[in-house]
Structure 1
Amino acid sequence: MKNITTRLATLDDIDQLAALFDAYRQFYELPQDLALARQYILDRMLGNESVLILAEDETGAPAGFCQMYPTFCSLAAAPIYALYDLFVAPEARKFGAGRALMLAAEAHALRNGAVRLDLTTAKTNLPAQCLYTGLGWKRDDIFYAYSKTLAA
């Protein structure tokens, strides 16, 4: 049984995070691009634009990560976090890494005055949906999510 711990990631973790982020992107059927993954994570860290939490097993090997972006809710007139990325390495699944990351994200958001966490997931990602509902998250059945791709 793997003992999973979580902690806030630092710049010293960039290579581990880049590998996990690249695998996460591949999970969503994007091409492998470790250089892009590394640069994206590095830019977020250097700009203090996101919070990255790293999960590790008892040997210190990376098990997964989550990335949250601080933002605001106008209606609540309060800060919230958008939990945008959550990934557990295939070999670390079923050991509680996803749950540990979600609980660490919640604790961080509470410590920093957030009143809510938001996330979206693929309709086909049933294991993640079970995790979220098991942790007390409520699926929004009232609002539709829209997006529009803009030309670069």
Structure 2
Amino acid sequence: MTEIIKIIEAGVEDIDQIAPLFDCYRQFYKQPEDLELAKSYITERLKTGTAIIFLARDEHNNALGFTQLYKSYCSIDVKPIWILYDLFVVSSARKKGVGKALMDRALLLAKETGAARIDLETAYDNSNAQALYESLGYQRDDEYYKYSLEL
């Protein structure tokens, strides 16, 4: 790792750094470029407190990546859980510990809030993310099927 990585809990004042990252994240998943939509969505999450976003910055305060988590609950464990929904690192900062630093901060949040676990999903072909998650102890769920209903 050649850069000093700082992880902060983002606020509305960080929108201009997060929104371009979020827009790139969505483009990775084949969504059209739409910076205004990204700004609007992230602003709403932060203003309403419906998400926690951690932002990674280098020593010059340049944004390197982010992760976005949503709190949920597990009726079986009778505890909160965190859904790690988004993780994105700019291409120039990949393989330098940024993703791991963001994941470590998410884990700290989960522990601080007494959560039972962190759940996440990734695309079948996203082998880089899968390798990161597995290196941190995450295990692929072979017990449950995931279902969705498009509206």
TM-score w.r.t. length of structure 2: 0.97
Deviation at 1:12, TM superposition (A): 1.1
Distance in 2 (CA, whole Å) between partners of 1:104 and 1:74 is: 25
Match of residue 100 from structure 1: 101
Distance in 2 (CA, whole Å) between partners of 1:99 and 1:52 is: 15
Deviation at 1:79, TM superposition (A): 0.4
Distance in 2 (CA, whole Å) between partners of 1:70 and 1:142 is: 22
Match of residue 48 from structure 2: 47
Which shifted more, 139-148 or 24-33?
A: 139-148
Tell me the alpha carbon deviations over residues 37-87 of structure 1, each in whole angstroms, 9 at most, x when there is no partner. 000000001100000000111211000000000010011111000000000
Runs of 4+ in 1 over 4 A off after TM superposition: none
Residues 1:28 and 2:23 are matched in the alignment: no
**SS of residue in 2 equivalent to 1:15:** helix
List runs of 5+ in structure 1 lacking aligned partners: none
Tell me the alpha carbon deviations over residues 78-117 of structure 1, each in whole angstroms, 9 at most, x when there is no partner. 1000000000011111111100000000001111121110
Percent same amino acid at aligned positions? 48
After superposition, the CA RMSD in angstroms is: 0.7
TM-score w.r.t. length of structure 1: 0.96
Deviation at 1:6, TM superposition (A): 0.8
Count of aligned pairs between the two proteins: 150
Which shifted more, 3-12 or 67-76?
A: 3-12
Distance in 1 (CA, whole Å) between partners of 2:134 and 2:100 is: 11
Amino acid at match of 1:21: F
List runs of 5+ in structure 2 lacking aligned partners: none
